[in-house]
């Protein structure tokens, strides 16, 4: 066990203060190490084992802190400790430190990680090398984040759960069990032929696709059922009358159920149905999603898939466009994979069903 003197680290009382205020993840990591040396009774071996760093590196950080305080920890290495030449890869200890630093933030750009590695260890890795480390060794994922509107309520999930509970209580008061109630999501979409959203693998530097650039769109509406029958149609407009007519279709398709719960967004014509009784004849209980929360409506992902199908197709007429939409809907609405996480969170009582993915 390698013990160091309690006087080896200067101004120990400042470490917790700096640690609380620090925003730079690399500096915060080094401050945390120095503070831990104090907390483990100046057992340098133990602190290095916890933070997965080499003892020589520990001494460098201690000297940088003693000489320059917090600012000394910003630098990659003390000038006397800089290696000659440029190493081509990271050591196991450096990989361990890198992973702990990356865990301090929820998202990173590749160039940020590249610059961090250069700053810390003077190693210039290619994007391919960085990708191999992140995917292969750290099991990280590269994906586009799902955008959340800043106006989305912080308790959106709780608000939705409360609305669902009220809807079930109303129907249970009428003697309906959950098995008597169809439940699904309603949303409108307008796939257009001019969209170009699909990426293809190909050889060569350039890829062309022949499309009919005539602007065509189809005002579509769908009911994606997680218990019951899914329904899709086309609307002349998005008025209350048209939405009410579609809800009647939903009711007819789910006539074997005693009631239907329909989850939808707060679009004005949707809200008007509630106030004017537009859903009563279809025996439908409307549940409105919290504002700015499309992520709580799984049908959104079905429409995205359908829009990709339209984008990759040659659409020669409005009727052909509607055919692509309808056929894609039939395929995609059969899958419960789009709603798997929603069911687990808000309708676990449906979990016993086999999810078609």
Tokens for 142? 């590269």
pLDDT at position 126 over 70: yes
pLDDT of residue 83: 43
- What is the per-residue pLDDT for 172? 92
Residues 264, 282: Cα–Cα separation, whole Å = 16
What is the phi/psi pair of residue 285, to 5°?
-105, 120
CA-nearest of 227, 266, 234, 269 to 249 is: 234
Lowest model confidence (mean pLDDT) among 81-95, 151-165, 255-269, 328-342? 81-95
Q: What are phi and psi of 232, to 5 degrees?
A: -140, 145
Question: What's the pTM value of the predicted model, to 2 decimals?
Answer: 0.63
Residues 6+ apart with CB under 8 A from 204: none
Checking if the pLDDT of 201 tops 70, the result is: no
Look up residue 38 and give its two tokens: 């104090």
- The pLDDT confidence band at residue 4, using thresholds 50, 70 and 90, is low
**How many Cα neighbours within 13 Å face the side chain of 25?**
18
Between 271 and 243, whose confidence is greater? Answer: 243
Mean pLDDT confidence for 126-146 = 87
Residue-level pLDDT at 88: 55
Q: What is the pLDDT of residue 211?
A: 74
**Counting every residue, how long is the chain?**
357
Q: 57-83: per-residue pLDDT in tens?
A: 888 888 888 888 888 888 665 444 444
Task: Judge whether residue 355 has pLDDT over 50.
Answer: no
The strands making up 231-234's β-sheet, listed across from edge to edge, are 231-234, 220-227, 181-189, 259-264, 284-288
- Nearest CA-CA partner of 29 in 45, 51, 50, 49: 51
Q: What is the mean pLDDT of residues 246-268?
A: 91
Q: Which of these ranges, 48-52, 104-108, 320-324, 346-350, has the smallest mean pLDDT?
A: 48-52
Residue ranges of alpha helices (H) inside the chain are 15-21, 25-39, 44-51, 55-68, 92-102, 110-121, 127-132, 156-173, 240-253, 268-276, 299-311, 318-332, 340-346
- All structural domains of the chain with their residue ranges: 12-137, 156-196+211-350
Structure confidence by residue, pLDDT tens digits, 137-169: 999 998 877 778 889 999 999 999 999 999 999
Please tell me the class of the 156-196+211-350 domain. alpha beta
pLDDT on residue 86: 46
191 touches 218 (CB < 8 A): yes
Percentage, residues of the chain above pLDDT 90: 41
* CA pair distance 245, 247, nearest whole angstrom: 5
The per-residue pLDDT for 268 is 61
What is the percent of the chain where pLDDT is above 70?
85
Confidence category of residue 85, pLDDT binned at 50, 70, 90? very low
pLDDT at 354 over 70: no
Q: Which of 211, 226, 184 is nearest to 311 (CA)?
A: 211
pLDDT tens-place string over residues 264-316? 998 765 665 654 555 555 578 999 999 999 999 999 999 999 998 888 888 88
What does pLDDT average to over the chain? 84
pLDDT of residue 124: 84
Task: Quote the DSSP letter at residue 137.
Answer: I
Q: Quick one: pLDDT at residue 44?
A: 81
In this structure, what token pair is assigned to residue 155? 């308790």
DSSP string for residues in 151-169: TS-TTHHHHHHHHHHHHHH
SS3 90: coil
């Amino acid at each position: 066990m390698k013990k160091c003197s309690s006087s080896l680290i200067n101004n120990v009382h400042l470490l917790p203060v700096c640690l609380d205020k620090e925003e730079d993840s690399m500096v915060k990591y080094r401050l945390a190490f120095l503070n831990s040396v104090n907390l483990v009774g100046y057992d340098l071996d133990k602190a290095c084992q916890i933070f997965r760093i080499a003892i020589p590196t520990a001494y460098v950080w201690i000297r940088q802190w003693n000489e320059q305080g917090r600012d000394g920890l910003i630098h990659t290495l003390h000038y006397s400790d800089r290696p000659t030449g440029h190493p081509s890869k990271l050591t196991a200890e450096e990989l361990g430190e890198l992973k702990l630093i990356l865990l301090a933030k929820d998202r990173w750009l590749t160039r940020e990680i590249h610059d961090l590695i250069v700053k810390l260890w003077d190693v210039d890795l290619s994007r391919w090398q960085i990708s191999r480390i992140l995917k292969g060794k750290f099991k990280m994922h590269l994906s586009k984040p799902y955008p959340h509107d800043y106006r989305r309520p912080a308790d959106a999930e709780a608000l939705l759960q409360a609305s669902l509970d009220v809807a079930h209580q109303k129907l249970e008061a009428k003697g309906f069990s959950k098995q008597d109630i169809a439940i699904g999501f309603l949303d409108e979409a307008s796939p257009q032929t001019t969209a170009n959203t699909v990426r293809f693998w190909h050889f060569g530097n350039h890829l062309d696709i022949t499309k009919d650039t005539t602007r065509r769109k189809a005002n579509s509406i769908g009911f994606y059922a997680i218990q019951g029958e899914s329904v899709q149609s086309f609307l002349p407009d998005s008025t209350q009358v048209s939405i009410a007519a579609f809800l009647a279709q939903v009711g007819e398709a789910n006539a074997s159920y005693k009631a239907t719960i329909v989850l939808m967004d707060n679009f004005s014509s949707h809200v008007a149905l509630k106030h004017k009784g537009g859903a009563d004849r279809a025996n439908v209980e409307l549940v409105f999603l919290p504002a700015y929360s499309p992520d709580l409506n799984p049908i959104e992902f079905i429409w995205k898939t359908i829009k990709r199908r339209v984008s990759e197709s040659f659409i020669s007429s409005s009727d052909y466009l509607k055919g692509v939409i309808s056929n894609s809907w039939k395929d995609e609405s059969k899958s419960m994979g789009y709603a798997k996480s929603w069911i687990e969170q808000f309708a676990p009582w449906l979990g016993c069903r086999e999810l078609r993915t």
